[in-house]
Amino acid sequence: MNERFLIRSLQGLVFVGFLLVWELGGAWRWWDPTWTSSPVRVAQAFAESLADGQILRHTGVTLTESFAGLLAGAAVGVLLGVLLGLSRVLGAVMEPFVIALNSLPRVALAPLIVMYVGIGFMSKFLLSFSLVVVPMMLGTYEGIRAADPIWLQSMQVLRANRVQVFFKVLLPSCVPWMFSGLRVSISLAIVGAIVGEFISARAGIGFMIDEAAGGFDSTRMLMPLIVLTLLAFVLDRLVLAASTRLLRWREG
Amino acid sequence: MNTAAALAGRWPGVAAAPSPNEGDVAIDIRGLSFRPPSRNRDAVEILSGIDLAVRQREFIAIVGPSGCGKSTLLNFVAGLLPVQSGQVTVRGQGGQAPSLGYVFQQHGLLPWRTAQKNVELGLEIAGLPVPQRQERARAMLAQMGLAGYERHYPRELSGGMRQRVALAKTLVTEPQVVLMDEPFGALDAQTRVAVQSLFAEFWTRHRATVLFVTHDIDEALLLADRVVVMGARPGRIVAQYTVPTARPRSHHQLRQQPAFNELYDTLWNDIAHLAQDAGRPAARRPS
């Protein structure tokens, strides 16, 4: 309890210290705040943007793209992972291809995707999807293969059918892997949407940043970025809380 | 559904359709040999020419040095390994395929299920309605001295408790044939004695056919009707003894019986010799 309190206090101190250095360094001319902006300027820009509704609109666009990619990517990834995990032959056949797909820097697919589907919602969605689907698939696949053989043997002795083995043993044993896959995927989904917006877009956080970059406006470049970071952080905490709650049975 | 035929179909080597005059035999093992698939042509046989007939409701303990294929033998009876050469037949009391129970050396509980839910698993698979399976699982846990621990996850239980949950999980389905692979080996001495008498009591009431692998001679003599001694390299049956003592038995009472002590010494000598043999490198056969 005491150590927990100490850690929380130190975390608060690090955060406040960072803001102070950032603000005062510019104010005291340790560096030129044109390049770094400052917490106060970012906060002002945020308040203005909140007032005219811009930040809400653009954040909404980016989050919609990311969430669509995340949900579809997670669903398809889990499905593919299950397929690969259940069929020993299919799993062995596809493994090198999946690994190759995983090592491919998939953001580099962006121009190709834009060429196929244009610069609308679809390109951001597909880019998010392509980033999310592979780690979710690999996680589920690993989870199924990590099922303890003794669980399967004991199901066989109890004369369980394949459907029962799947729903009572294989699927629950994947859940921890799915959760860690999901945590990685949240930031990947956002990366996909932002990169898509950089390439070409009319709305979204990536669009805001790109537009501000055209005017050398560091404050309006950093502000949406910070908003997005905070949102992604909160989302990660939520998933983490859900997983600790659902995975109460885990060791340690 | 004809389960015997289904069993024979699913697990090649497990023969169906017993002849009526063999109705008293629950587990019939004839000439069972097993050599693991390997490129090495000199690979040692794990099992060699095992013949064993276990009567319905008989309690057999199998003792022997480690590596003598005791666990492999159980896996053949359970149908977890396909029979290569020889024959394994398992029959229920009506001649049909019996319900099986297997208590593994490790508890094998599903970590995401509570004690209660783990015990319910077999009943769930059998399609028992929810209220009945909850009631039976709760009663079984109580019998194992685990009342109040229904909602604990395996990680929240001690090793002895986990093993008792595993035992409850197997026994709650009231299997006609129970296979047990050193089920109490991981328990400390006190817990082991307690769980042994729990199990002995259960068996006296339900009288399943039991194949019980152990390396503890005391345990074998406490529980079994017959003790089978196996040797290693290759795994084979070297001796069988009928335990003369009447039930119920207790560790304390056994020690005062000359017949028990004599059998204890005989078994101890058998195993000591086998262990010595196993220490030497296996003789290579000329190819």
Q: pLDDT per residue over A125-174, tens digit each?
A: 999 999 999 999 999 999 998 899 999 999 999 999 999 999 999 999 99
pLDDT value at position B8?
37
Interface of B with A (CB under 8 A): 78-80, 100-102, 104, 106, 108, 110-113, 121-122, 124-126, 153-155, 173
What band does B40 get if pLDDT is binned at 50, 70 and 90?
A: low
Cβ contact, residue pair B104, A155, below 8 Å: no
As a whole number, mean pLDDT of residues B129-133 equals 95
Q: Residue for token digits 């002590």? A: B261
**pLDDT band for position A227 (cuts 50, 70, 90):** very high
Contact residues, chain A to chain B, C-beta under 8 Å: 148, 150-151, 153-160, 164, 168-169, 172-173, 175, 247-251
Give A245 to chain B, closest Cα distance, Å: 12
- CB spacing of A159 vs B125 below 8 angstroms: yes
- Contact: A158, B110; criterion CB under 8 Å: no
What pLDDT was estimated at residue A221? 93
Quick one: pLDDT at residue A69? 96
Is the complex ipTM more than 0.85?
no
Dist. CA B15–CA B10, nearest whole Å? 11
Contact assignment for B78 to A169 by CB distance below 8 Å: no
Cβ(B228)–Cβ(B60) below 8 Å: yes
The mean pLDDT value for A218-236 works out to 93
Please check the confidence at residue A211 and state whether its pLDDT lies above 70.
yes
Give the domains, in start order, of chain A with CATH numbers: 59-246 (1.10.3720.10)
Instruction: Determine the residue of chain A that is closest to B178 in CA distance.
Output: A157
Nearest C-alpha in B relative to A155: B122
* Residue B20 in this model has a pLDDT that exceeds 80: no
- Place B278 in a pLDDT band, splitting at 50, 70 and 90: low
> To the nearest whole number, what is the mean pLDDT of chain A?
92
Residue A161's CB is within 10 A of a number of other CB atoms, namely: 9
Locate the chain A residue with the closest alpha carbon to B115. A249
Q: Does the structure show a pLDDT above 70 at B12?
A: no
Which residues on neighbouring strands pair with residue B231, listed in sequence order? B236
Q: What is the pLDDT of residues B221-244, one digit of tens each?
A: 989 999 999 988 788 898 899 888
Task: Measure CB to CB from residue B108 to each of A151, A164, A248 and give the nearest one.
Answer: A151
The string of DSSP codes covering A189-227 is HHHHHHHHHHHS-SSSHHHHHHHHHHTT-HHHHHHHHHH
| Interface mutation target, options B74, B112, B182, chain A, most CBs of A under 10 Å | B112
Is-contact A46 A223, C-beta < 8 A? yes
| pLDDT at B284 > cutoff 70 | no
Question: Is residue B3 predicted with pLDDT exceeding 60?
Answer: no
A21-60 pLDDT, tens digit each: 999 998 999 999 888 999 999 999 999 999 999 999 999 9
Q: Is it the case that residue B21 has pLDDT exceeding 60?
A: no
| Pick from B181, B230, B237: nearest CA to B64 | B230
Q: How far apart are CA A70 and CA A48, in angstroms?
A: 30
Distance from CA of B269 to the nearest CA of A (A): 34
Least confident of A7-11, B50-54, B91-95: B91-95
Q: With an 8 Å Cβ cutoff, are B112 and A172 in contact?
A: yes
Q: Does domain B3-99+175-279 have CATH number 3.40.50.300?
A: yes
Which residues on adjacent β-strands are paired with residue B181? Answer: B213
Which pLDDT score is estimated for B186?
79
Give which of A151, A153, A154 to mutate to test B binding, by max B Cβ within 10 Å. A154
Whole-number pLDDT of residue B11: 36
pLDDT of the residue at B244: 82
Average pLDDT, chain B: 82
Reference A176, options A238, A247, A248; nearest CA is A247
Residue A7: pLDDT band (50, 70, 90) is: very high
B/e letters for A213-226, b = 16+ CB within 10 Å, e = fewer, are eeeebbbbbbbbbe
CB B59 within 8 A of CB B34: no
pLDDT over threshold 60, residue B92 = yes
Share of chain A above pLDDT 70, in %: 99
3-class SS of residue A11: helix
**Who among A151, A158, A249 is closest to B155 (CB)?**
A249
Q: What is the reported pLDDT for B84?
A: 85
Tell me if A158 and B125 make a contact (CB, 8 A cut-off).
Answer: yes
Please tell me the number of Cα atoms within 13 Å of A56 on its side-chain side.
6
Is residue B236 classed as helix, strand or coil in its secondary structure? strand
- Tell me the pLDDT band of A123, cut-offs 50, 70 and 90: very high
Task: Name the minimum distance, in Å, from the CA of A172 to any CA of chain B.
Answer: 7
Q: Would the CB atoms of B124 and A168 count as touching at under 8 Å? A: yes
Give residue B42's pLDDT. Answer: 64
Q: What is the pLDDT of residues B151-199, one digit of tens each?
A: 999 999 988 899 899 999 999 998 999 999 998 887 888 888 888 888 8
CB B26 within 8 A of CB B88: no
Mean pLDDT, residues B43-64: 88
